[in-house]
Amino acid sequence: MNNIPTNTQMDRKNSPGCPSIIKLTNISFSYPGSENRVLDCLNLNIRAGDQIGMIAPNGSGKTTLLHTIMGLCKPDKGSIEVLGSPMETQKDFTRIRSEVGLLFQDSDDQLFCPRVLDDVAFGPLNIGFSQQQAIEISLNILEKLGIKELEKSVTHRLSGGQKRLVALASVLSMSPKILLLDEPTTGLDKTVKQKLIHILNHLNITYLVISHEFDFLKAVTNKIYSMDKGRVLTDEYNL
């Protein structure tokens, strides 16, 4: 995260000429056994450099949308492209998982190792870094998030806010090209929230952040979308 241009150095407002990074076309999805279409002919185009916020009522399908982008929910209809490639098989989704970092809404879905450092180093190890490199990367991220002292802690005994930060560290340690953050501020105190704002504002990557906190979204994104009736509304809150 060092030596990268800040958002203020980027054109934060618009990216109409930039390539599409995630493109969903006419996506419909219902959970198995349910007739309720959570996503209903949904279209979404995220371009390189977009830093998009999403705010919408509980149950409107935000988490389902992120899971669909990651291949965790299989749409009944429609097509998905990520980084220019069509996502048609589970293999396609597996291939892009190191490039697209998803912060799950529930930290317990993200963290599965006994100790914090193992959880954060898991991703880098998995993509081929040596043990030493993975530890170095992980300690660096933990330090940036201000939680280096937790490196040896037992993950499941952490507080909710601490788990949130460790989960975020485990996503950032992969250096993803795209970040999908599902309510990253849950359980974070004011100081830590400010730190997260600072970190996001210094990450020169494309992201989509879901939150119920409008001020937080305003501080870290350049446009804010909403969802209604299974579709994304892109002109709801233009900043």
Ligand X SMILES: Nc1ncnc2c1ncn2[C@@H]1O[C@H](COP(=O)(O)OP(=O)(O)OP(=O)(O)O)[C@@H](O)[C@H]1O
Residues that bind ligand X (CB under 6 A): 31, 34, 38, 56, 58-64, 105
Decide which of ligand X, Mg ion, none touches 60; Cβ closer than 5 to 8 Å per partner kind.
ligand X
Minimum gap (Å) between residue 58 Cβ and ligand X: 4
Decide whether 65 or 120 has the Cβ nearer to ligand X: 65
Among 15, 51, 60, 63, binds Mg ion (CB under 5 A): 63
Decide which of ligand X, Mg ion, none touches 110; Cβ closer than 5 to 8 Å per partner kind.
none
Decide whether 51 or 63 has the Cβ nearer to Mg ion: 63
Decide whether 134 or 163 has the Cβ nearer to Mg ion: 163
Tokens 């105190």 — which residue? 189
CA geometry: angle 27, 29, 30, nearest 5 deg: 165
Minimum gap (Å) between residue 72 Cβ and Mg ion: 13
Decide whether 154 or 233 has the Cβ nearer to Mg ion: 233
CA 64, distance to chain mean position in Å, is 13
- Going 60 to 30 to 21 to 206, the CA torsion angle's sign is positive
- For Mg ion, how many residues bind (rule: CB under 5 A)? 3
Stretch in the footprint of Mg ion (CB under 5 A) among 46-54, 56-64, 132-140, 185-193: 56-64
72 Cβ contact partners less than 8 Å away, ≥ 6 residues apart: none
Minimum gap (Å) between residue 62 Cβ and Mg ion: 5
Decide whether 61 or 123 has the Cβ nearer to ligand X: 61
Decide which of Mg ion, ligand X, none touches 59; Cβ closer than 5 to 8 Å per partner kind.
ligand X
**Binding flag, residue 110, Mg ion (CB under 5 A):** no
Per CB under 5 A, residues contacting Mg ion are 62-63, 105
